[in-house]
Amino acid sequence: MPNPGWFKNRLQDPFFRRAHRENYRSRAVYKLQEIQEKYQLIRSGNRILDLGAAPGSWTQYAVAQAGRTGKVIGIDLLPIQPLEGATLLEGDINDPVMQEQIQAFAPKGFDLIMSDMAPNTTGVHHADAGNSVELVHVALDLSKIWLKNGGHFVAKVFEGTDFRELHERFKKLFGFAKSFKPKASLAASRETYLVGKEFRASKL
């Protein structure tokens, strides 16, 4: 049974209350909104891939930003409730069959790849951070297949001992590369977001 204090803390969180009021599936949407307002990653008509999409708030936001001419696909190991305007897949992004489905969705490549993937946390910071870094490396590897040259990328990562190496790789792949912590991130969280623009496919 969940700790009653958890519910109290959630109700005191202004981003949680706002998400409920504005019909978003989670407070994480405001992290993406702040990133979008600052870096303008999404444009009308974009093809967008959302990795680790459950419960779907990033996908919701991307659908609204990309508009009727855009296409958004979300994938997660967990089921995602249907969302108007989006294609949702349940499965592993490392599965070749799943990769074929994703490739068919945007045969000319995606304009933006987003990843809010996170590992199953253990409570051991260095282990959780290392696993988080590995997930971002996977997303970058898949960018070779799926991201357009000149496309954009954003991914969550937990900072730890492996972060510097990841960041160096990241900077080589994009003409513009920044790490950014949105205001909606919990103050105690070690998460940050890697924001990349102008993907350099030839560098992979």
- Residue 186's pLDDT is 79
- Residue 124's pLDDT is 75
CA 105 distance to own-chain centroid: 18
Q: Enumerate the H helices of the chain as residue ranges.
A: 4-12, 14-21, 29-39, 57-66, 96-105, 125-146, 163-173
Q: What is the Cα–Cα distance from 58 to 39, expressed in whole angstroms?
A: 16
Tokens 């001419």 -> residue:
69
The 3-class SS string of 36-92 reads: HHHHCCCCCCCEEEEECCCCCHHHHHHHHHHCCCCEEEEEECCCCCCCCCEEEEECC
- Residue 204's pLDDT is 54
Q: Are strands 174-180 and 191-199 parallel, antiparallel or unpaired?
A: antiparallel
Q: Indicate if 156 belongs to the active site.
A: yes
What residue ranges define each of the domains in the chain, with the CATH number in brackets?
27-203 (3.40.50.150)
Q: Which of 31, 71, 148, 156 is catalytic?
A: 156
Q: Is the pTM of this model over 0.85?
A: yes
- Residue 128's pLDDT is 87
Examine the pLDDT at 87 and tell me if it is beyond 90: yes
- Residue 11's pLDDT is 57
Examine the pLDDT at 1 and tell me if it is beyond 90: no
> Among 5-14, 108-117, 180-189, where is mean pLDDT lowest?
5-14
Q: Indicate the pLDDT class of residue 14, thresholds 50, 70 and 90.
A: confident
Element (H, E) at 180: strand 174-180
Examine the pLDDT at 180 and tell me if it is beyond 70: yes
